[in-house]
Homo-oligomer: A and B are copies of this chain.
Amino acid sequence: MRASGPRLEFWYELASTYSYLSAMRIEAVADEAGIDIVWKPFVLGPIFNAQGWSTSPFNIYPAKGRHMVREMERLSAARGLPFMMPAPFPQNSLNAARLALIGHEEGWGPAFARAVYTAQFADGEDISDRKVLGKILGDLGRDPAPLLARMEQPDIKQRLRQQTEEAQELGIFGAPSFLAQDELFWGDDRLEQAIARLTKP
């Protein structure tokens, strides 16, 4: 990480289709712009609940959901990324998000996030499954058992709750969201605008 360069906060949800698109490209885009990314995993469930939704708006509003699936197919194909809809959608991403918090402390967070997205959207695996998560950790060269144990600790659960509350306080209502200084940008398609906010003041 650069000593004092501009930093973009990348608020992502591991069950979010459009967050997948951003996670797979954000470091290349940021490197080119000379900025650092601060990865901020959170979960949308409590934020959706606060809006009166019990599941993803893509399930509640079927026309919106159909458009999202078709668009993900188009955008993934254009970017050379695999894409399939996981079942069920959205996946329960709580455990994965807790591990991501640990990973961002320890330096393997971005690679872990990308591997979770690949398991889910390329391979159709269940990212709430401890076996799936353990395999991802092992493939990254980490020892799964202590990390899966730490994932269950109250302090990690509490940190994810706090980070999700912070998202809500920032006005975040969907994912991915980008915070460039005090400006909030929503959606993978706004990544370039968020970066321009930092690099062309």
Contacts and interface: CB of A to CB of B under 8 A. Distances in A.
Given A61-B51, A67-B186, A184-B67, A74 B173 contact: no
A168 B174 CA distance: 25
B61 A171 contact: no
Given A51-B61, A63-B172, A189 B186 contact: no
A142 interface: no
B193 A64 contact: no
Interface in A52-75: 61, 63-64, 66-67, 70-71, 74
Given A184-B70, A193-B74, A173 B63 contact: yes
Contacts of A168: 63
Most chain B CB within a 10 A radius of its CB, from A63, A64, A74? A63
A35 to B, nearest CB: 18
Q: How large is the interface on A (under 10, 10 to 19, 20 to 34, 35 or more residues)?
A: 20 to 34
Contacts of A183: 70, 74
Contact of A64 (B63, B64, B173): B173
Interface in A148-178: 168, 171-174
Interface string A181-199: 0011110010001000000
5 contacts: A63-B173, A64-B174, A66-B171, A67-B184, A74-B193
Given A63-B173, A64-B174, A67-B173, 7 more contacts: A61-B173, A63-B172, A64-B173, A66-B171, A70-B183, A70-B184, A71-B185
